Amino acid sequence: MKISHELPRCLLALSNEICDYNYCLPHLLDIDKEYEAFFRSEKEKGRYCIMDNSLHEIGHAYNHDRLRYWINELEPNEFIVPDVWMDCSQTVAQAKHWKQYKYPEKTKPIAVIQGSNKSEAYLCANLLHDLGYSKLCVSYGATWYNDSFPHNNVDMGKALGRVHFVMGLLQLQHLKNIKLHLLGCAIPSEFSWYDNHPQIESIDTSNPIMAALEGIKYKSYGLNHKPKANMNDHFDIKIDELDYSIVSYNVDKFKHINGLK
């Protein structure tokens, strides 16, 4: 599994040291010149890039015209087509709509599985596969994860609920050639529970960074809760406002507890 951690502006220059690939939030490209310059520079270097559609950050997929503009400008290796939170039908409709566009030669469109419950999510995965998407994304935050795996610790229940859903996907014979990307996490040790399954190709999470911004140093097992800090509130943090030794420690510990290199 390749890992990327979303970084505040002051740590972008360290991306090559911290991340296996770059993870781009397109709405920031239009409002932050330094962020834009970084990704233009990384494109010139040939750094692997996955471009999100910014749903998690702004509550809905970013402006479609601007998404198409940045796809053509930056030519990301993968682009997550617009989806609608926990809505199977609208997500599939969006995925079908975005199939009509031409993409740069090296850009592969990928899609997010959504649904209001487990049955709808399985249906969504099947419909996206039928549309020709060969890589699917699975969010960490669906509320029904806690319904399928109740736990006194809500974050733990959410993590276990996603594991239960993902492992079910991986057992479906007709999806045996599908690759997966895991979006975010509630518990940082979750990724070790997949035993490096070859179909799980990439993950992204800011968990070790956000924990460090709260001054939280990972324990031997990581954490058993999700940090409250988020990138929306901390993107502008100054370098002297964080303890980089905790950032570095958490990133290394994250890889260790998940068996990642």
Residue-wise pLDDT tens digits, 69-110: 999 999 999 999 999 999 999 999 999 999 999 999 999 999
Please report the pLDDT score of residue 233 as a whole number. 87
Q: Is the CA virtual torsion 156, 162, 166, 169 positive or negative?
A: positive
pLDDT digits (tens, 9 = 90+) for 175-193: 999 999 999 999 999 999 9
227-236, Cβ contacts within 8 angstroms, sequence gap of 24 or more = 230/206, 231/6, 231/8, 231/25, 231/57, 231/206, 232/57, 234/8, 234/210, 235/8, 235/9, 235/28, 235/32, 236/8, 236/9
Q: Dump pLDDT digits (tens) for 127-137.
A: 999 999 999 99
What is the CATH T-level fold of the domain 2-257, as seen in this structure? TIM Barrel (3.20.20)
Domain boundaries, the chain: 2-257
pTM of the full structure: 0.96
